[in-house]
A and B are shown apart, each in its own frame.
Chain A
Amino acid sequence: MADRRRINGPVGTTIPPIYDDASEKKSEGVKTTRSRPANVIRKMYLKTGVTPSASGSAYLEIESSGNGGSGLKLSCSVHGPRALPRSTPFSPHIILSTHVKFAPFATKQRRGYIRDPIERDLGTHLEAALRGSIIADRWPKSGVDIIISIVEGEQDRETSKAQGIEAWDTMNALSGCITVASAALADAGIDCVDTVAGGVAALVQDAGDDAAPSIVVDPIPSEHEKVLAACCIAYLPTRQEVTNLWFKGDLPASDMDLYSQLVEKGIQASKSANWVLVDCLNETVG
């Protein structure tokens, strides 16, 4: 679908020139490796109340991988709860609408103004994750809009040439979206059963042929030779419940343990993110 209402940039994609350093050439095979322990997530910065005009807002930044790449920067604003327009049929619950958008300049490949399927898909996942945490029947006949703009996507300047990495990056983006939206909902004063936070765990194959696959939390795909499977989890820690689970990859069905471990690690990552979330909210209150 062409966007005819705005003056857009060139249709074709342009790839910025990348010059090979002579020093890099010789160490071509050597990639950056993960320096964190396998069960520690990256540092993140979370702040609520950044958009005064919205009823609730939050900003989340996840530190970059330190390879000339950029971290994840998300900004979320919540508008509502507000009355639905007269034309909408009666709803006994609050109507949630989620909107996730990458800024056109967020990734190496330019994104248009119209949301592409990946962004819409992220929106649906986010809606499922939040719907479980909101106490929806306290606001009949009302709606709330949750708008997330991804200001900067996770991207590694050197290594994202490699194909197939973007697919795994969307999971990291989703977990960030869930955490930031949860903070913004709390900021807006919308009743929730608990704060929901997102976490990612992945089964990765590190460089070296004989290395057995290992499970890491909060993976950066470019740091690993191959990502075999990953899962993103939205978790409510006090109720010990999962509101959204998204698993992708290729696992033998006979090995259910591996799957359970992956989910377990995803929950662990989500709990870690939740600490940051709770600390941030306590700070605002106190």
Chain B
Amino acid sequence: MASSQHVLLSPAELAYLHASLSLTPPIRPDGRSLTQFRPLVAETGILPGTNGSARICFADGTEAIVGVKAEVERTRTGHDSPSLDDEGAEDDDDLDNQQDVVKGDNDWVEMTVEIPGYRDDDAGTVFLSAMLSEALLADGEFTKRLWINRRFHWKLYLDILLISPPLSYPLPLLSLTTHLALLATRLPRLKSEGDEDPLFDDDWAAAPYLYARPVQKGSKKTASAPTARPPVTLLVMAVGNNIIFDPSKEELAVADVALAVSVGEHTGFASSKSTEMDIDTEEIKGYHNLRLLSVRTIDPPSRLTPPGIPNASNSAYGANAGAKDTEKKKQQQEQARTAESEAVEGVWKSPRGGAKTLVMAALVQKVLEKGGVADEVLDALDGVDLN
């Protein structure tokens, strides 16, 4: 599903929308503030047959389910590394040395995105799934979590389903749902040791979470045990001088530029590093230690919207009336050409060219700033009960 799905708005409506979004302060059609997300309902653990699952329903009626399934798979050894199956040949020292080398491979994660009404090899669907998996695999830390021992690993299947028709560009929805599903994912506890064939604990209650979480005391969280968490991809767009988060379909239709920014969180380095690091972490206490993982431009659908025609060049308003001699006609053609390139106030014109670098940088900055939207979103997601 492309971001450039057809928007049924007339040039006049688009011009009005664009004008109201470029005001200071802007007026959004649904009355939200610039950084406000659409209200949503989220729950986890809805699918008993999966290792982790989540469902999010946005107020505009779009809804997504994500199921995470894990399978044990034998790790394929490359031609350059010694075969690990004949362990007798290796001496113990060698084994000990290699024991702590936890390696991951991007092939261990398989992600599929399903959007109703679109083929699974549609360019837009592929783009969405590439964006989501890119963010997940960006730091190379995620696949290390799937390592069991040198011979086996978990293969993780992430199936992302949009179960409503795509009423708006579903990127934020799918990303948030995937985030929650991964947070809720548990893998059976390993009972075997070393490079044995893996044997797991039958007790599901003892299964550890894929993303270990802070120790909870009652309802109060202790800040001492921070954890990493899966990435979140946010959709940001700019209209005029305003930066707008979580745009709806209509808002995206007048965007000057739209970006998908993926942020992740890394913590837990503090204890192993020097005291300098401790000071740093104390400074940023209360905020998330964000990492920028990926940025992609989304082709804004505004480029495909029908342009309006100013009265000056509209023949219905007498633009070409009385133009009989060729000289006059030529002059008018030239006028029409300038009209094509110059903006007339109140007449919609689809944006041409790209975006200024400063605007792009401002979009990313706005997402990442301390106490900014990314922080807010991650805090809000903390509130979801993971059962």
Interface residues of A (CB under 8 A from B): 1, 15, 18, 91-93, 115, 117-118, 120-121, 123-125, 127-128, 131-133, 135-137, 161, 163-164, 167, 193-194, 231, 234-236, 239-254, 256, 259-260, 263-264, 267
Contacts and interface: CB of A to CB of B under 8 A. Distances in A.
Interface residues of B, number: 51
The SS class assigned to the B binding surface is mixed
B106 interface: yes
The SS class assigned to the A binding surface is mixed
B354 interface: yes
B282 to A, nearest CB: 14
Contact of A93 (B140, B292, B303): B303
Contacts of B365: 256
Contacts of A239: 353-354
14 contacts: A92-B305, A92-B307, A136-B304, A241-B356, A242-B355, A242-B356, A246-B295, A249-B294, A250-B139, A253-B289, A254-B290, A259-B364, A263-B357, A263-B361
Nearest to B349: A137
Given A245-B297, A246-B297, A263 B307 contact: no
B138 interface: yes
A259 B305 CA distance: 32
B130 A132 contact: no
B368 A136 contact: no
Interface in B105-138: 105-106, 121, 123-124, 126-127, 129-130, 134, 138
Contacts of B303: 93, 131-132, 136
A222 to B, nearest CB: 15
A131 B299 contact: yes
B263 interface: yes
Contacts of A18: 79
A121 B105 contact: no
Contacts of B304: 91, 93, 136
Given A247-B296, A248-B134, 11 more contacts: A18-B79, A120-B127, A128-B297, A137-B350, A239-B353, A241-B353, A245-B295, A250-B291, A253-B292, A263-B357, A263-B360
B353 A243 contact: yes
Given A248-B138, A250-B293, A241 B354 contact: yes
Contacts of A248: 134, 138, 293-294
Contact of A247 (B264, B294, B307): B294
Contacts of A92: 305-307
B352 interface: yes
Interface in B324-380: 340, 350, 352-357, 360-361, 364-365, 368, 370, 374
Contacts of A1: 121
Given A236-B353, A263-B361, A247 B295 contact: yes
Residue among A135, A161, A242 with max Cβ neighbours from chain B (10 Å): A242
B143 to A, nearest CB: 10
B361 A234 contact: no
Given A131-B299, A161-B80, A164-B140, A124 B361 contact: no
B218 interface: no
Given A121-B130, A132-B354, A249 B293 contact: yes
Given A245-B296, A247-B295, A124 B124 contact: yes
